[in-house]
Amino acid sequence: MEKKQLWLIIAGLILINCLTVAFFLTKQGTGFGSGEVVATVGKEEITRQDWLNVMESRYGKDVLKELIDQKVVELLAKKYDIEVPEAAIDREMLLVKTMYGNSTEASSEEEWRKQIEASLLLEEILTKDVEIPEAELKAYYDENNSLYNIPTSYHVSQIVVKTLDEAKQAVKELEQGSNFSTLAMEMSIDEFSASQGGDMGFVRAEDEFISPKYIEAIEKLKPDKWSEPIQVEDGYAIALLHERIEGKKYNFKEVKDEIRRVIALEQMQGHSTVEDFWNEVNVDWFYGEK
């Protein structure tokens, strides 16, 4: 499966998981009856039941389908004795963090790991009967070597201001205990990151859009430390390093199974989904025929 497709699937699964939490937390309630008033508009009341009815009509089918799909993948993995090595999950997690994510919360990372595992299990199930010659696997690796070379990356936040005096003032306020994120929202002129509290996500040393001076400055930082003012195109920046992830180059043996799945999925005709396996595990659900 192409990386772009994988990330779209993972993002979609996480979105639905968020809806799942919201839906079932409200469905279970907090000890109040369905007639509990959750909002008023003038003299009009909106009850918990009104709210739940709309939630179910909008999200109920998708949430239930997601729960079914998760269970189907689990059952099929057990049936065919399929497991995903932790190393494979770690590799995909590294890509997710450095390319698409900027959250460092443990709960968020654990959720990513679960979704990555589910996605890889599905790929293994879809391609379990496909055999690819060793020579073809090696040729793919040699031709796409850059895909398996993850450069050193830095999770950075920044405050960008127009003048050196403003930059020095920002550093002074940080030294006096000001919160970096709050200060970035108040002072930074960078439209991309200011609204995120200065959070830029991960940047790479080889990024052509980041100046060498900027990279040089953050390379010297320790986690949770900020830099002195750095001259940039729009003025001056103060960079805060959250996390550094060392680069890694994966050899053929480490990614051989992944390459087999990629080639196998490319060779498969049509678009396969978890629903294709519903009959195999006898799925019966509230909404009838899928």
Q: What confidence category does residue 108 fall into, taking pLDDT thresholds of 50, 70 and 90?
A: confident
Instruction: Measure the CA–CA gap between 169 and 226, rounded to whole angstroms.
Output: 14
CATH architecture of 152-245: Roll (3.10)
Question: Cβ–Cβ contacts within 10 Å for residue 237, how many?
Answer: 27
Cβ neighbors of 26 (< 8 A, separation 6 or more) are 48, 51, 52, 55
Asked whether the predicted pLDDT for residue 270 surpasses 70, the reply is: no
Q: For CATH 3.10.50.40, list the domain ranges present in the chain.
A: 152-245
State how far the Cα of 246 lies from the Cα of 65, in Å rounded to an integer.
38
What confidence category does residue 110 fall into, taking pLDDT thresholds of 50, 70 and 90? confident
> Distance between CA atoms of 152 and 156, rounded to whole angstroms?
13
Average pLDDT estimate for 47-61: 91
3-state secondary structure of 236: strand
204-238 confidence digits (pLDDT tens)? 888 888 899 999 999 999 999 999 999 999 999 99
- Is pLDDT of 71 > 90? yes
The mean pLDDT of 248-255, rounded to a whole number, is 95
More confident residue, 175 or 56: 175
* pLDDT of 97: 81
The mean predicted confidence, pLDDT, of the chain is 86
Query: Which strand (E) or helix (H) includes residue 221?
Result: none
| Mean pLDDT value of segment 128-139 | 95
Question: pLDDT confidence of 133, banded at 50, 70, 90?
Answer: very high
End-to-end Cα separation, the chain, in angstroms: 24
- Asked if residues 268 and 126 have their Cβ atoms less than 8 Å apart, the reply is yes
Rounded Cα distance, 66 and 185, in Å: 37
pLDDT bracket for residue 272 (50, 70, 90): confident
Q: What distance lies between CA 189 and its chain's CA centroid? A: 27
